[in-house]
Amino acid sequence: MFTPKYPPTDTAPTVPTASSTVPATTTPAPVTPVPVSNRPTIQLTPGSTLALVGGGTAVILIVGTVLVSMLLAVAVTGVSVAICAVVLRSLLNDSRKGR
């Protein structure tokens, strides 16, 4: 029931070989040169270069600020959990001693 069913090996379709489909006396097609693109090239002026540098700097500063704030949030959370653990340990030790 769960065994795979494979077709018999003699019913597989045959794939023609390259030697039977391409005659041996053909000549290669001539190579045509690739036409030059009609797209305009980007010309950087001093103003646009300054805008690109300013934009890149702003992106780096924003991403850095977000990453540092996330790291700070993790650090503050870790410290607060550690303080809670110390306080709970102290309370449990005091309750066991009967104070």
pLDDT digits (tens, 9 = 90+) for 60-91: 999 999 999 999 999 999 999 999 999 999 99
Cβ-based burial of 4 (10 A; exposed 0-12, middle 13-18, buried ≥19): exposed
For the full predicted model, state whether its pTM sits above 0.75. Answer: no
* Of the listed ranges 2-6, 16-20, 64-68, 74-78, the one predicted with least confidence: 16-20
Distance, in Å, from the CA atom of 49 to the CA atom of 85, rounded to the nearest integer, reads 54
Backbone angles phi, psi at 82, to 5 degrees: -65, -40
The predicted structure's pLDDT at residue 43: 82
- Domain residue spans in the chain? 72-99
Q: CB-hemisphere CA count at 13 Å for 8?
A: 2
